[in-house]
Amino acid sequence: MTIPSDPLARQAQAFAQGAKLGADHLTALTNRQVNADTAQLPALDIALPQSGHSPNDVLSLMQDAGSPGTVASAAGRYFGYVIGGALPAASGARALLSAWDQCANADTGPSVMQMEQTAVRWIIDLLNLPAQTGGAFTTGATVANMTLLATARDTLLACLGHPRGKGLLGAPALRVVASAEIHATVLKSLRLIGLGSEIIERVPTDTQGRMRADKLPPLDASCIVLAQAGNVCTGAFDPIGNIADACQAAGAWLHVDGAFGLWARAVPDLTNALTGLEKADSWVVDAHKTLNAPYDSGLALCRHPEEMRASMAIGAAYLPPTDPSPADLTPEFSRAARGAETYAALLSLGREGLNDMILGFHNKATRLADALRNEGFTVPHDVHFNQVFVTLPDSPELCAAITAEVQASGEAWFGGAAWQGQSGFRLSVSNWATSDADIDRLVAAIVKARETVLNSQAVA
């Protein structure tokens, strides 16, 4: 390989090499085992060399030792957490953007900022949120939740006569009301903004995992109420319209964590479960889960963008008052143009493609639950969206053994889970690359694992 003398020609050469190796990795992934082969990790954990390696050698080492040690979550047989995949256009956009290497602010990256703002506008429209809604991209739902909870905190305190600039010292007490099944990351977001996670007044859930609106405590103007659109075990949606009415009457702030589930709102066949969503004050949705944009990317959306800006603005005197700059709407200052990947994802799908992909997750999850019930497994909830919790009420240990057996087989991957006092495993259908055949292979792998475990127990 000849090394060009021009610096950017050298960068272009390495870039082409990285893209080629990435393409090699992807084409081999469909038939690879899903779990990571970690045998070569020690080859990565070496002493920093005295003199540097060529880009070609660096990339070869990373590919040879690193590619087998990846989890094949980009392919169609990964069902753990809610991981998603990466749509072709979004993945290609990631590569293109890495060559551009823009810092996503108006004066440091005008074109990527345009793509981000257009993507935000598309998403507000797709989710049918109020016209005045504003928002920006964050690394994911955890940071988006934190951003909006800080905004809610500051706005409520200001209404109670405690100005933003004074922080939490000497501030009146706020209350946090949330579903008993709130996502664990929201507790962290609450801790990060100084409210702590122990003050939560927990609202009981129904047999589907939905917050019971009739069990809300009396609300007042010091309350932040946290609802969720998409229970991570059952996929169920809290009755947000009813909760919103109670919040509006009391002057409470309603925040909706819709990390993976909010996309149901963009699908006519699924949107009924999110009636009244537009009445909330703030919403979070990830791009890197259900939408299948690459990691890491989420959105913080707020009905009161001026409050979000008041809480998040940098306000440094040397910064031009660009409107709106993401650095003035989210915690970060310098950051990647992650929203441009979402722009690419949405542009490549169009409204029809988005509908088909997300409805497809729901249909495949339904197929999966039906097949597992036929095989004698228990799915103790309706299939609301894309998540399926599976158990065997009489033998939860068997569920754990089946989970381990499938994980080790490399045929598919999912993790154990506990829900409403039952333990089992959880399956998420959230990758655009997952086909009906992949669902059938997953069911076959689970049934085979049960046989293997039961046979080995009979022998022992």
Ligand X SMILES: *Cc1c(COP(=O)(O)O)cnc(C)c1O
Query: Cβ closer to ligand X: 151 or 222?
Result: 151
CB of 14 to ligand X, least distance (A): 30
- By beta-carbon proximity to ligand X, the closer residue of 134 and 140 is 140
In the complex with ligand X, the residue whose CB is nearer, 59 or 285, is 285
Nearer to ligand X, 141 or 243 (CB): 141
Burial class (CB in 10 A: 0-12, 13-18, 19+), 255: buried
Query: Of 201, 211, 225, which is closest to residue 152 (Cα–Cα)?
Result: 225
Residue with smaller CB distance to ligand X, 298 or 339: 298
Q: Which is nearer to ligand X, 83 or 327 (CB)?
A: 83
Q: What are the tokens at 422? A: 């039952």
Q: Which residue is nearest to ligand X (CB)?
A: 140
Distance, in Å, from the CA atom of 26 to the CA atom of 254, rounded to the nearest integer, reads 42
Q: Are 297 and 137 in contact (CB under 8 A)?
A: yes
Q: How far apart are CA 145 and CA 433, in angstroms?
A: 28
In the bound state with ligand X, the residue whose beta carbon lies nearer, of 183 and 426, is 183
Q: Do residues 329 and 300 touch, judged by C-beta distance below 8 A?
A: yes
- Closest separation between CB of residue 185 and ligand X, Å? 4
C-alpha 240/C-alpha 213 separation (Å) is 8
Rounded to 5 degrees, what are φ and ψ at 416? Answer: -70, 160
Tokens 């932040």 correspond to 224
Handedness of CA 174, 177, 180, 185 (dihedral sign): negative
**Residue 260: phi, psi to the nearest 5?**
-110, -25
Q: Is 327 in contact with 337 (CB distance < 8 Å)?
A: no
Q: How far is the CB of 184 from ligand X (least distance, A)?
A: 8
Q: Which CB atom, from 59 or from 148, has the smaller least distance to ligand X?
A: 148
- Give the shortest CB-261-to-ligand X separation in angstroms: 7
Which sign, positive or negative, has the C-alpha torsion 333, 335, 340, 343? Answer: negative
CA distance 279 to 239: 12
Residues forming a β-bridge with 283? 256, 301
Q: Kindly report the number of other CB atoms within 10 A of residue 314's CB atom.
A: 10
Residue 170, phi-psi category: left (phi > 0), alpha (psi -120 to 50), beta (remainder)? left
Residue 48 parent element (H or E): none
Question: Which residues contact ligand X (rule: CB under 6 A)?
Answer: 82, 140-142, 183, 185, 228, 230, 232, 257, 259-260, 286, 298
162 vs 384 by CB, closer to ligand X: 384
Evaluated on CA atoms 303, 305, 308, 310, the torsion sign reads negative
Under DSSP, is residue 387 helix (H, G, I), strand (E, B) or coil? strand
Closer to ligand X by Cβ: residue 81 or 122: 81
For residue 225, the SS3 value is strand
C-beta of 432: minimal distance to ligand X in Å? 18
